[in-house]
Amino acid sequence: MPEIYIDNKRYEFEKPGKVLQFMLDKGLDLPFFCYHPSLSIPANCRQCVVKAGMPVFDREKKVFEIDDEGNRVIRYFPKLMTACSLDLADGLVIHTHETDELVKEAQADNLEFILINHPLDCPICDQAGECPLQILTYKYGPEGSRFEHKKVHKPKAIQLGPRVILDAERCINCTRCVRFTDEISKTYQLTIISRGDKNYPTTANGREFDDPYSLNTVDICPVGALTSADFRFKARVWEMNQTPSVDITNGKGCSTWLWTRDNLVLRVTPRFNEAVNDHWMPDAGRLAYRKFNENRISRPHLRPDDAGQVRTSWNNAQLTLQEELEKVTADEILVIGSPHASVEDNYALRTYFGNLGVSRFRFLPHTEPGTGDGFLISDDQAPNTNGVKGLGFDEIDEKSLIKLIETGKPKIIAILDDDLLGRTALTEEHLASSWMIVWGTNHNDTTRAANLVVPVTTAAEHAASYVNVDGRIQRTVPAKETLYTNRRLNLEMSMGRLDHYGTKFDNWVSDANRIDCIPAWEFFTRMKSDSDTIAWESSRQIMEDIAGTFPVFREVSYDRMDEENGIQLKLEQDSEVKPA
Amino acid sequence: MAETYTFTAKDLKEIEKITAKYPDKLSAVLPALWYAQDKFGHSDPSVQQLVAKTLGVPEAHIRGVVSFYTQFYEKPMGRNVLDVCTCLSCQVSGGYDMLHYIEEKLGIKAGETTPDGEFSVQSVECLGACGYAPMLQVTNDKFVNHLTREKVDKLIEDLRAGKKPDFESNPMPQHEKGS
Ligand code: SF4
Ligand code: FES
């Protein structure tokens, strides 16, 4: 197998590739800025330089030349080479800062150059704490600067587009953002203008940077030059917790990170997942932080008469549903599952009402044809359409749903988190003769029209699975505490620096943002039931049940989803679905 | 931004001839911009937009190219553009003195245009004539070398009268016969 020597250590490589990527894959350290594994390689920052050479081969004797000490004679490139653009080659010898003084000096000198016009305003910069320039300067940079002149000034706080703000002075002109719009989002909206120490990225004259993927440039910018208009000045990164999750605003279900502080989701960023979204996600998905924080339903809401809803206790909510159920027969109940809710919650809904003898399980897909782009935005507006389908809920369209309610006049309508009144032509009049219960996360037209509203957790508060448009099942991890969960007790929740060491006297610690809600499945376990199929203690257990019941979900488990970053389901098994 | 500039059928044919020479559209950007600037006198944002549309290349890219070269004018300029070199060799031979003299004489600063639209002055980087420093270039054309105040006075007088400078041959010492 071809071999390469890095700092006198031998490595073997199978596939062709570049030296820098090879080193990163092997966990070796080398500073770099402009290189990005998913973009082209311009080698313009010059931070990744190494000393490189090849063994001298005697073509006549067909042997490597050997020196007096018995080592191969190496012929080095006359200048240092950029590792990001240097191809792996059999016999290649690389020296990094670990074994070569020149490389070490070059790295420090390059950083000194890069920092010449950099404002060094880390104390007020959003990027501080997760800034490659800051980190690499600590590790490899010079002790100080020898530059005694006035720095070049450039535009600051420029609103490049609705979501992205540019500070041109911080830019190191790595062109990652430009390459992103040229190679990934293909809107070609950015360019580097001017030259020398005056250049910085911007749009064409009078054009907005309104790329639907624009915020990815903020993620990949190795400095604080591009910042998010929404997240700017909201929090320091080291004060936040970072929890893996899934985008629930779109059928594609990009893998995400939720960043929380004091139980508020402050930003959503993409999490690398080769099978779904690579390093990227659409801007729209990042707005989900508002859904998690704002307009939340806290405590059950009951409408005792026509006057309006009042808050009530959990006990009363359960008793009220029990009473209403006792008044009707199973065929007078219409149960509507939700492509917006998780597999587990839909399954719990189905199991609970199935035990009561209900056989009508419907759901209304939420697609907006023409809004998809074939990349990371799908027509499907819901994260779990395939999941509800896989659980045997019957797909129904808007017209048939309204007709079903108008003609069937169900006495009880049970809706799992889905704003049907808001997104369809269904109105309160249609529902006038029914008693309606809604499990909801946020106040909306549907919850306002309900007789009983049960507040349930969002994807930011529960562990639950969603099946994306391509049939990949992925799960969330609780990021935000509810009134009933506790970071220190729930081992799955991430603990940030503040959670470990913060006291109640810290600025950022309060309990104000914990919502009084529970996962929908938990509500069903609290209901009185003749059956023991509803004795779940966690959503993990529910998934075990589901995997044992539905062929589509066979072999799905939380452990596997965690290990493999989601599991591809074989959806064609749809037809074999056997009812629970 | 209103599109106030258009190419005629003849222009389009010329530009097609340019693009036909290259394997891809991006390579035609420079010659196409030259063509447009020759026609309109500058490459302001609406000209950039026109060129981008005509060639089918991103507008942002055209802006990047235009702003990179001082030879492309991002805004309308005077009839004569004096590109005074203030890069190293000219700087040490009095390039800034020449620039400031011109600025004073015309009553404008580098980057500005005289109210009568006759002259624009720019301070530019190396034009590759270090051997004849200090020097300037007139409207992307002739170089005027070994500048002195007298030479500048005469140049401006001539240009006012519509007389362009002639090509000056400056043989390098090693090329001079008999030396
Ligand atoms: S703004 Fe950021 S990503 Fe774009 S060129 Fe500058 S440093 Fe690179
Ligand atoms: S990473 Fe920028 S030159 Fe290699």
| ipTM attached to this prediction | 0.89
Q: Do both A431 and A526 map to the same domain?
A: yes
Is A404 inside a domain boundary? yes
Residue A64 backbone dihedrals phi, psi, to 5 degrees: -75, 140
Is A283 inside a domain boundary? no
pLDDT at site A576: 46
Domain count, chain A: 3
**Termini Cα distance of chain B:** 60
Q: Do both A58 and A103 map to the same domain?
A: yes
Tell me how far apart the alpha carbons of residues A178 and B8 are, in angstroms, rounded to a whole number: 33
Q: Do both A34 and A174 map to the same domain?
A: no
Q: Do both A38 and A149 map to the same domain?
A: no
Domain termination residue (choose one: A112, A146, A181): A112
Give the model confidence (pLDDT) of A493-504 as tens digits. 988 888 888 777
With beta carbons under 8 A apart, name residues in chain A contacting B45.
204-206
pLDDT at site B3: 52
Q: State if residue A462 touches ligand 2 by the CB under 6 angstroms criterion.
A: no
User: Which residues does B38 contact at the CB level (< 8 Å), separation at least 6?
Assistant: none
- Residue A518 DSSP label: B
The token pair at A380 is: 């499907």
Which band of pLDDT confidence, cut at 50, 70 and 90, is reported for residue A577?
very low
**Termini Cα distance of chain A:** 54
Q: Do both A35 and A182 map to the same domain?
A: no
The answer on pLDDT for A580 being more than 50 is no
Tell me how far apart the alpha carbons of residues A41 and A183 are, in angstroms, rounded to a whole number: 12
A91 CB burial (10 A radius; 0-12, 13-18, 19+): middle
Q: In Å, how far are A53, A73, A76, B12 from A59, measured between CA atoms?
A: 17, 14, 18, 57
pLDDT at site B1: 47
Q: In Å, how far are A343, B86, B91, B137, B156 from B124, measured between CA atoms?
A: 65, 6, 11, 10, 19
Tell me how far apart the alpha carbons of residues A202 and A217 are, in angstroms, rounded to a whole number: 12
Of A188, A194, A196, the CB nearest to B60: A188
pLDDT at site A578: 45
User: Which residues does A501 contact at the CB level (< 8 Å), separation at least 6?
Assistant: none
What are the structural domain ranges in chain B? 9-68, 80-160
Least confident stretch, A192-201, A382-391, A565-574, B33-42? A565-574
B59–chain A nearest CA distance, Å: 6
Give the model confidence (pLDDT) of A367-409 as tens digits. 999 999 999 999 999 999 999 999 999 999 999 999 999 998 9
The answer on pLDDT for B169 being more than 90 is no
Q: Give the atom of ligand 1 at the shortest distance from the alpha carbon of A217.
A: 3
For residue A540, give the 3-state DSSP assignment: helix
The answer on pLDDT for B94 being more than 50 is yes
- Here the CATH number for the domain that contains residue A126 is 3.30.70.20
Tell me the average pLDDT of chain B.
93
Tell me the average pLDDT of chain A.
94
pLDDT (mean) for B163-172:
88
pLDDT at site B177: 67
The helix (run of H) or strand (run of E) holding residue A475 is strand A472-475
Q: Do both A375 and A465 map to the same domain?
A: yes
Is A177 inside a domain boundary? yes
pLDDT at site B171: 80
Hey, are the CB atoms on B52 and A204 less than 8 Å from each other? yes
pLDDT (mean) for B45-54:
96
Tell me how far apart the alpha carbons of residues B119 and B84 are, in angstroms, rounded to a whole number: 12
pLDDT at site B4: 79
- Here the CATH number for the domain that contains residue A68 is 3.10.20.740
The token pair at A126 is: 């959003």
The answer on pLDDT for A572 being more than 80 is no
The helix (run of H) or strand (run of E) holding residue A12 is strand A9-12
Q: Do both A328 and A453 map to the same domain?
A: yes
B94–chain A nearest CA distance, Å: 22
Domain termination residue (choose one: A175, A196, A228): A228
pLDDT at site B150: 96
Tell me how far apart the alpha carbons of residues A135 and A158 are, in angstroms, rounded to a whole number: 25
Residue A380 in contact with residue A366, Cβ under 8 Å?
Answer: yes
Q: Does domain B9-68 have CATH number 1.10.10?
A: yes
Looking at per-residue pLDDT, the higher value among A40 and A511 belongs to A40
Q: Do both A82 and A137 map to the same domain?
A: no
Give the model confidence (pLDDT) of B143-160 as tens digits. 999 999 999 999 999 999
Q: Do both A123 and A159 map to the same domain?
A: yes
Residue A22 in contact with residue A13, Cβ under 8 Å?
Answer: yes
Tell me how far apart the alpha carbons of residues A200 and A154 are, in angstroms, rounded to a whole number: 8
pLDDT (mean) for B92-106:
97
Q: Do both A129 and A171 map to the same domain?
A: yes
Give the model confidence (pLDDT) of A290-342 as tens digits. 999 999 999 999 998 777 899 999 999 999 999 999 999 999 999 999 999 99
Q: State if residue A45 touches ligand 2 by the CB under 6 angstroms criterion.
A: yes
Range of the domain at A20: 3-112
Q: Do both A428 and A389 map to the same domain?
A: yes
Give the model confidence (pLDDT) of A426-445 as tens digits. 999 999 899 999 999 999 99
pLDDT at site A579: 45
- Residue A321 DSSP label: H
Domain termination residue (choose one: A112, A129, A148): A112
pLDDT (mean) for B53-69:
97
The token pair at A501 is: 């060491």
Q: Do both A84 and A148 map to the same domain?
A: no
Q: CATH says B80-160 is which class?
A: alpha beta
- Chain position carrying tokens 């980057």: B111
Is A152 inside a domain boundary? yes
Count contacts between A and B (CB, < 8 Å): 46
